[in-house]
Amino acid sequence: MEQNRTELVLPILSCYNSDMKRQIKRKMKRALLILLLSAGFLTAIPQSAYAVNTAPTAEQKTAADERKNIPVETNLLPGWPEGPLIGAQAAILVDAKSGTVLYQKNVNEQLYPASTTKLMTALLTIEHCPMNDIVTFSHDSVHNIESTSSRIGIDEGEQLTVEQCLYGLLLGSGNEVAYALAEHVAGNVDDFVAMMNERAAELGCTNTHFANANGLPDPDHYVSAYDMSLIARACFKNESLVTISGTKNYTIPPTNLQPEERPLENHHLMIPGLKYEYEGFIGGKTGYTKDARQTLVTCAEREGTRLICVILKEESPNQFLDTKALLDYGFDGFMKVNISENETRYTLNSATFFHTNLDIMGSSKPILNLNTTDYVTIPKTVSFEDLTVRVNYENLPVNAVATLDYFYNGHKVGSTAIEYADHTVEPFDFSNIITARTKEELPKKVISEKELIFINIRKVILILLIVLASLLLIFFTHTLIVRIKYMRERDKLRPVKKFNKKKLKQKPYSKRRK
């Protein structure tokens, strides 16, 4: 019986195994076909890889070498430290607080920013949304993005917080994240792009126009190096964006659709511990497309000086090497000088202008002063006395009546605001008021040996006003009486002329003479 069962089972297993083998072969053929089709499709479309390590061709290297011949404008300034010659199409180095330009090369040309665009996306997001807001990824945010572009693998319907999205945006450079944030902030991408352009104009950008939130190629999507420095300055004033963009690694926890964690690594290789680490690095953003080439924004700080460097259209890895050279140039060759501590040409201690002598307490204080935190950034070989200064009354900051703008050989190196003085009066401690109404009710320790005089300030003021009004009334009445009396006396003294009829009968003088 057992033998018959075994003989019966063996054919069934053999049939089952053969079916499984056929299914496996079928699946393998399908997978191979899909792989081949995918490879053919990827080679058929124009490649626009998004990576900081994309190796340039020999032709691109030659073009980068030729770009070193583009003049560096700051190198033409008399007495200005000579900056490095780099292969970027455009570059700028600025002081993050004052905006003083330390190095500039072709800073107004309109160029593709690539993923450095996401700094503006991050800025608008953090200005309009709480970090714990929930962002739900729509169908368009996931599927309307170029399949070969930079992604962090978010699925349709998946939910992340704004904070997690910002890490995905600035570390992982996720284009679907930029799209989703645009929809979350403005409702749709078009309205968000309008917000981007409006914010850029507010920051003073004149050679910038955005067409999307992620920096994917578009002929109508461009910035200049100078404009990108304005955007970066606004970004790096926000310490949350500094922290996020300067983070080396971050892990997005499991979500409503993804049970696994998503580890992210910052693409900016100047972070401490990475290949091109830089001392003082605090944040930045990378970018790359086939047309934009390598783009890079970096912020670093040393000894209280914070600098921002922008590189547009460079070849890898020179975007990092250029940035290092420019930051070293800035930190080594320039210094900050406090304006209020050194300005002597425009003194605010003149009692005839900046002071008021109407202080009834007799202690006249200045009504205007210089901002005590403003400074100029100048070459270490230059002194404060070498600068020229102009008074400016336009585009003033809050609480300022004017600004003093400082220049070295025509190049602006800083400014300070002339502000209304803030004379803070210490609040009176009302808990110490004595509420006694008579001398007997006063505590003994406040009663002196001399007689106390109790003064009602309101009554004193009222009496003074009545006296003043009475004096004015008496004065005007007296003046009126005197004037009337004078007019009467004058009328009495005036002679009365009598009418002489004989004069009318007299002949003309000429006739009488004849």
pLDDT tens by residue, 64-112: 999 999 999 999 999 999 999 999 999 999 999 999 999 999 999 999 9
Looking at this protein, which amino acid is placed at residue 494?
R
- Catalytic pick from 115, 149, 224, 245? 115
For range 407-420, the mean pLDDT: 93
pLDDT at 399: 81
How many Å apart are CA 35 and CA 41, to the nearest integer? 10
Outline where 45-100 has alpha helix (H): 58-67
Catalytic residue from among 118, 285, 313, 324: 118
Rounded-to-integer distance, Cα 155 and Cα 114, Å: 24
More confident residue, 357 or 129: 129
- The set of long-range contacts for 456-465, using a CB threshold of 8 Å and a minimum separation of 24, is none
Angle between helices 175-186 and 189-202 (to 10 degrees): 90
Residue 267 near residue 52 (C-beta atoms within 8 A): yes
Q: Which of 149, 173, 245, 415 is catalytic?
A: 173
Instruction: Tell which wins on pLDDT, 419 or 262.
Output: 262
Tell me how far apart the alpha carbons of residues 42 and 486 are, in angstroms, rounded to a whole number: 111
The answer to whether residue 14 is catalytic is: no
Q: How many CB atoms lie within 10 A of CB 286?
A: 27
Specify whether 350 is catalytic: no
What is the spatial distance between Cα 53 and Cα 318, in angstroms, rounded to a whole number? 10
Active site residue 115: yes
- Cα–Cα distance for residue pair 116/232, rounded to 1 Å: 9
Which has the closest alpha carbon to 310: 301, 292, 321, 298?
298
Residue 299 contacts residue 308 (beta carbons within 8 Å): yes
Over residues 458-480, the pLDDT tens digits come to 677 888 889 889 899 998 888 88
How high is the pLDDT of residue 40?
Answer: 39
pTM here is 0.72
Q: Residue 193: its pLDDT value, please?
A: 98
What pLDDT shows up at residue 12?
A: 42
